[in-house]
Amino acid sequence: MLKNTMIIIIILQEVIVGINILKNNIKDHSKPDIFNEKNFVFIISAGRTGTKFLGDKLSEIIENSYSVHEPDVLNDDFKNIINKIYQFGIYQMIIGKFLNKTGIRNLSQNYISRKININQLVTQLINHREKFYKKINSNLIIESYSGWYGVIPGIQKLYKYYKIIIIIRDPREWIRSTINWQNIYGKKDFVQKLSFLKLERLNPEMTQDMNYSMDWKEYSKFEKLCWMYNSLYSIMLSEAKNDQNIEVVRYEDIFNPNGVAFKNMLIFISEYPNKIYNINNKNIITDKKIHQTKNSHFPQWHSWDDYLAKTLNKHCHELMTKYGYGEESEWIEKINR
């Protein structure tokens, strides 16, 4: 009874805070010390790249670290929702998200679509993350979440000591896994379920891609995912060119049993100008799958017809060439037939 009363009090307090923030339209403020003092790691990808495994496990490997996967993403677990309201506040977790104003995924889309500028982005990142960070005792905060893809400029401007890992995966396997997972353009896509609130997936209109925006609704789910893959990684990689705090790693290399790329990644994210963190166990790569796709109705690329292969190649060939994908003779034959 007492526990339930406390939950109700916390929610009521957060409702009042949320209303006040909404009334004041989120005022700008100076950068809090926590963004200068702690060390931060952002593991970013297009999803389906082992980020849940990394978010769950890295705090077991690197001393004095806190690692988490998708900390501001809601699910249908009531206790999870209450906990996240406590961590972030009801405005940041509920009200602002439904208004398309808060949440890392929304901030990415708002910045990419030019609804907010870089200074507004930084202010909103502070509003969204400061309370969360203050509840974490560890000096190294590691977050794995695909939603950060569009706010890398905000990370670069706001955080003093940061490292970013961009994980890229063979687009043929990414699309197969995504279609079978059904969380984008599928029956588990919560964004589509909330379309009446004007929540959307990334689309050509947001990125000012006039080549595809006019006929976007006519494209198949497969081609939309091809476009999305190329767009997400093009956005991320454009910010990685001249930043020594960003490393791009192939999914296939990180989870290679030889462990070389994984160990190199650990070293990269544990060393900072103000502190170096000890690594306890570099040999944690496992064959056990986390967040594994259970459905397998959409096949691997070997079973695709030429049309699917050519469609993917149209959108993704530059990234495939750059990162060593699509070199198989069978694939080359499909796209050239």
Alpha carbons 232 and 227: distance in angstroms, whole number: 9
Domain-located, residue 97? yes
Domain-located, residue 236? yes
- Decide: 307 and 337 in contact? Cβ < 8 Å: no
Domain-located, residue 13? no
- Decide: 247 and 271 in contact? Cβ < 8 Å: no
Residue 205 structural domain: 30-279+296-336
Domain-located, residue 78? yes
Domain-located, residue 245? yes
Alpha carbons 14 and 29: distance in angstroms, whole number: 20
Domain-located, residue 15? no
**Burial code of 309-325, b = ≥16 C-beta within 10 A, e = fewer?**
bebbbebbbebbeebeb
Q: What is the DSSP letter of 119?
A: H
Query: Locate tokens 């339209």: which residue?
Result: 25
Q: What is the pTM of this model?
A: 0.89
Q: What is the DSSP letter of 303?
A: G
Start-end of H helices in 214-305:
221-238, 251-254, 260-270
**CATH number of the domain bearing residue 158:** 3.40.50
Domain-located, residue 288? no
- Decide: 263 and 280 in contact? Cβ < 8 Å: no
Per-residue pLDDT tens, the chain, 337 aa: give them: 545 554 554 555 555 555 554 444 444 557 899 999 999 999 999 999 999 999 999 999 999 999 999 999 987 678 888 899 999 999 999 999 989 999 999 999 999 999 999 999 999 999 999 999 999 999 999 999 999 999 999 999 999 999 999 999 999 999 999 999 988 887 777 777 776 677 889 999 999 999 999 999 999 999 999 999 999 999 999 999 999 999 999 999 999 988 999 999 999 999 999 999 999 976 666 555 555 556 679 999 999 999 999 999 999 999 999 999 999 999 999 999 9
